[in-house]
A and B are shown apart, each in its own frame.
Chain A
Amino acid sequence: MTAAVSPADAGPAAEVKPASRPTPPRPSLAIYLGLAALAVAAFIWFWQTRESTAVLYVPLGEIMLWAPQNPLIGFLVMLAVLAVCWRTRTGAMAAFGALSFVIFTYWAGARINFSLTSIPERWSNLEGQLQAFFRPNWSYVFGVWDQWLTTLNMAIVATALGCFIGLLLAMIASPVSSPNKPTSQSVKALNSVVRSIPDVGWALLFVALIGGTAYGLGPLAGVLALLMFNIGIVAKLLGETIDAVSPGPIEAADAAGANLLQRDRIAVLPQVMPGFVSYSLYVFELNIRASTAIGIVGVGGIGQELSLQMNRFAWENVAAILYALIVVVLLVDLFSMWIRRRLM
């Protein structure tokens, strides 16, 4: 184009514009129109399926347009995203990604009626409880010393056992250190199953299977639940660390005639040791928190105490427990950070 216009007025223009710079390729308009059509389709669908009845009135001179409030806002956001993408010459794929991100987020939020507007409506209910958090009952926290220790003990036992078993499973799960491919694959699959059940799920399961605090077996169920939780985490994280160890020492151990166990012990373990210790400390932190959470489903410890106080509406006690929990978790965090720094 510039070339076609030029010779006559090229003189001064050439002075001002030293050289033509490459411009980013313009994304295809057709695709953007298609994306806009997708946004319209999404808007229509959200309109049809809307649950909120709030309607927005848009005065346009003589006439008054109206539209369901939330889908319209969502639609405008979609168009704005497309406009920004167009302006920044974003490729078709990325623009599609951005648009679908907005659509999915809107869909998810609309589906569960996500809105913060209900909080002020519940304020009268909330006020009293919030006030309790400003005057926690400190004397109560030390009264349940025993429960704190139970929680801590569950975390320690579960960490020790879980990390050890996790280490063994990680060794078998990683193709680098496992005897053969089928073993590694099946252990990995088993591991995914273990990991797919959350800690509270395991706790409910073990409480149902072997009995909770009612039978005096609460901590046992709790430790077993945390154990499964820990095995899943350590085996996953450590397995990936083992995948990435440097192959040189392993080859050297092989060349020296070491067998599989010797090779794993001599060449693999020292390389992943910092990772293992670090994961173990992380798992210990998680266990302190998780043992509180699973305490609520009846495995004893401070979590059970917490749920008891909540059922009694003793918010001062609840507040005291939560504050103490923050302090405990922070202390454990500092402790493990201190160790990790010395590890490297």
Chain B
Amino acid sequence: MITFENVDVVYPNGFKGLSGVDLTISRGEFVAIVGLSGAGKSTLIRTINGLVPYTAGTLTVGGTLMDPKSKSKLRQLRSRVGMIFQSFNLVTRISVLNNVLTGRSAFTPTWRSLLGWYRAEDKEIAFQSLERVGIVDKAYNRASALSGGQQQRVAIARVLAQDPEVILADEPVASLDPPTAHQVMRDLRRIQQDLGITCIVNMHHLDLARSYADRIIGMRAGSVVFDGPTSEATDAVIEEVYQRSLTAEDVAAVDVAVSLDDLPTAPEQEAAEPTATQAADGQAQQPVAAPGGETEQGRT
């Protein structure tokens, strides 16, 4: 469980990243955070693992109070909180396996890390993580040799190798093409459900957020302005969050620049997955077709 109580973040340059955030995220939830650029989405996520220290209020993660000052406590916390980044943040010159083993750092003695001599158990954990994202056969390839979608899967495997309670994802699919974005989100959702991990994801694309998240948090100017289940996050509500009317680009992840070749696979998978997800969660199906239709109108 993650609890924000009146949390403020003021950056060293005086910019207020978060102001008075109150949130409770319970175990096993899949939360999407939406908002325009600069709304404080990244700051919110980075506060949870202390990459950005909060300056006022209280933040507890898994029952322990977050202390951004204590380095050892931070490391302990980070060992249980994995993070996925927009630009994957892999070390491209080393093997996929070694990248995944980075996730084992907190559980590996320093001398082993320095020599690059990992325990067999840790390697096994890394292989299992790679299996979960389906690229175990690439284990000894250089990370740079992989495609964007595969690299983001390696990043997910790196997080899984930590055996995390929480996964934070900062725009995890923003640099992927729409079909790949859906595949990666689907993987993340599946793994999150299998392992009961709490997942907090920043999103630009509304329909991705609606398709995969249980709960949507809307942010504007460092504050939470909407917080509710996905079914309540209607276009009207999101327009309120954005303070402007939605455009095609806000909603669409599928139909922006997708070639005809992609159509048979992408919408099909997309149709299958959210239904399964939402059946499991007992939530109302958010019409995926509707935003698409809207887009068509918006364009013409």
B102 at interface (Cβ–Cβ under 8 A)?
Answer: yes
Q: Is the CB of B102 within 8 A of A258?
A: yes
Contact with B along A256-283 (1 / 0, CB 8 A): 1111011101110011011000000000
Residues in A whose Cβ lies below 8 Å from that of B94: 270
B54-94 CB contacts (< 8 Å) to partner A: 74-79, 81-83, 85, 87-91, 93-94
Known: A261-B113, A265-B114. A252 touches B75 (CB 8 A): no
A253 to B85, CA, bound (A): 12
Residue with the greatest number of chain B CB neighbours at <10 A, chosen from A258, A259, A261, A267: A258
Contact with B along A238-256 (1 / 0, CB 8 A): 0000000000110111111
A254 to B49, CA, bound (A): 9
Q: Is the CB of A262 within 8 A of B158?
A: no
A263 to B110, CA, bound (A): 10
Contact with A along B95-134 (1 / 0, CB 8 A): 0001000110110101001101000000000000000000
Residues in A whose Cβ lies below 8 Å from that of B49: 255
Known: A252-B158, A253-B102, A256-B158. A261 touches B110 (CB 8 A): yes
Q: Is the CB of A255 within 8 A of B110?
A: no
B192 at interface (Cβ–Cβ under 8 A)?
Answer: no
A259 to B110, CA, bound (A): 8
Residues in B whose Cβ lies below 8 Å from that of A263: 105
- How many cross-chain pairs have Cβ atoms below 8 Å apart between A and B? 82
Q: Is the CB of B93 within 8 A of A270?
A: yes
Q: How far is the CB of B296 from chain A (nearest CB, A)?
A: 37
Q: Is the CB of B76 within 8 A of A257?
A: yes
User: Contacting B78 at CB < 8 Å: which of A257, A265, A270, A271?
Assistant: A257
Chief secondary structure at chain A's binding surface: helix
Q: Is the CB of A257 within 8 A of B83?
A: no
Residues in B whose Cβ lies below 8 Å from that of A259: 75, 105, 110
Residues in A whose Cβ lies below 8 Å from that of B51: 251, 254-255
A254 to B162, CA, bound (A): 13
Q: How far is the CB of B129 from chain A (nearest CB, A)?
A: 12
Q: Is the CB of A248 within 8 A of B87?
A: yes
Q: How far is the CB of B285 from chain A (nearest CB, A)?
A: 34
Which residue of A has the minimal Cβ distance to B80? A257
Residues in B whose Cβ lies below 8 Å from that of A255: 49, 51, 78, 81-83, 168
Residues in A whose Cβ lies below 8 Å from that of B103: 256
A256 to B98, CA, bound (A): 14
Q: How far is the CB of B43 from chain A (nearest CB, A)?
A: 14
User: Contacting B105 at CB < 8 Å: which of A262, A271, A274?
Assistant: A262
Q: Is the CB of A256 within 8 A of B93?
A: no
A252 to B92, CA, bound (A): 13
Q: How far is the CB of A244 from chain B (nearest CB, A)?
A: 15
Q: How far is the CB of A41 from chain B (nearest CB, A)?
A: 48
User: Contacting B90 at CB < 8 Å: which of A249, A257, A262, A265?
Assistant: A249
Q: How far is the CB of B264 from chain A (nearest CB, A)?
A: 35
Q: Is the CB of B83 within 8 A of A252?
A: yes
Residues in A whose Cβ lies below 8 Å from that of B106: 256-258
Q: How far is the CB of A274 from chain B (nearest CB, A)?
A: 8
Known: A253-B105, A254-B51, A257-B78. A266 touches B110 (CB 8 A): no
Q: Is the CB of B78 within 8 A of A254?
A: yes
Q: How far is the CB of A225 from chain B (nearest CB, A)?
A: 30
**Interface pairs (7), CB distance under 8 Å:** A249-B89, A252-B90, A256-B79, A258-B113, A267-B102, A270-B94, A273-B93
Given contacts A255-B78, A256-B158, A257-B106, 4 further A-B contacts (CB under 8 A): A262-B110, A263-B105, A265-B116, A270-B93
Give 5 closest A-B pairs by Cβ, nearest first.
Answer: A257-B106, A248-B89, A258-B105, A257-B78, A257-B79
